A and B are shown apart, each in its own frame.
Chain A
């Protein structure tokens, strides 16, 4: 069975601080995909990134960066120089090649950036 754990329920930081959201996953499949989604108060889930299990390269996109480590089954997300607009709930999710249409979500981390 697949499982995603986001241990941080809520995080609150002051604007311009760096913040890391943790994601730990469990799966017995050797081929799987990891995702991060952002859900602002408006409700829409916004796709941020996907990563497949064979690609352990870290990725940077502007102020966002992702650190994928198979050895620790983690796929952490860092926001550098946070801004108020980054306030949202962030979900980490997993799917496998066997159940590619089923996303297993973590419980989400509510991030609040205070001015």
Chain B
């Protein structure tokens, strides 16, 4: 099973709202990722969690707050977003053993900030 699930599929929020994106995997992977993808662009890495600890933060604004409650779950808390934050947010997971780090992606959450 190589499935990564994400909820919600679509989200519309105002600039003063607080919302959360959720991601779950049951592949036993110990690395989980958040990406942001704008239209016609490749995904941009935002955060990496390794063994439930934040290992990479690609200088993401503090209005995005990641959380990894356990090895299967990854959240992205959103607060005071800007319209330019509208994008597809993708979650991924990968193994951390050996050298093979292919990442398995979820279907994404399409976020619109109004």
Which A residues are CB-close (under 8 A) to B31?
101
Which B residues are CB-close (under 8 A) to A97?
99
Against A, the Cβ 8 Å flags (1 = close, 0 = not) of B74-102 are 00000000000000101010100001111
Most buried by A among B31, B41, B43, B56: B43
Whether A43 lies near B108 (C-beta < 8 A) is yes
B53 at interface, CB cutoff 8 A: no
Q: In the complex, which of the residues A43, A91, A101, A105 contacts B94, with contact meaning CB atoms closer than 8 Å?
A: A101
A103 at interface, CB cutoff 8 A: yes
Which residue in chain B gives the minimum CB-CB distance to A31? B99
Whether B45 lies near A102 (C-beta < 8 A) is yes
Which residue in chain B gives the minimum CB-CB distance to A6? B42
Whether A103 lies near B108 (C-beta < 8 A) is no
Which residue in chain B gives the minimum CB-CB distance to A95? B101
Against A, the Cβ 8 Å flags (1 = close, 0 = not) of B38-72 are 00111101001010000110000000000000000
Which B residues are CB-close (under 8 A) to A44?
90, 105-108
User: Quick one: given A42-B107, A44-B108, are A33 and B101 in contact (CB under 8 Å)?
Assistant: yes
B34 at interface, CB cutoff 8 A: no
Whether A45 lies near B101 (C-beta < 8 A) is no
Which B residues are CB-close (under 8 A) to A42?
107
Residues of A within 8 A of B (CB): 31, 33, 35, 37, 42-47, 50, 52, 91, 95, 97, 100-103, 105-108
Residues of B within 8 A of A (CB): 2, 31, 33, 40-43, 45, 48, 50, 55-56, 88, 90, 92, 94, 99-108, 110
Of the A-B pairs whose beta carbons lie under 8 Å apart in the complex, a sample of 11, sorted by A's number, is: A33-B101, A43-B108, A44-B106, A44-B108, A45-B43, A46-B105, A100-B99, A101-B55, A102-B45, A107-B41, A107-B42
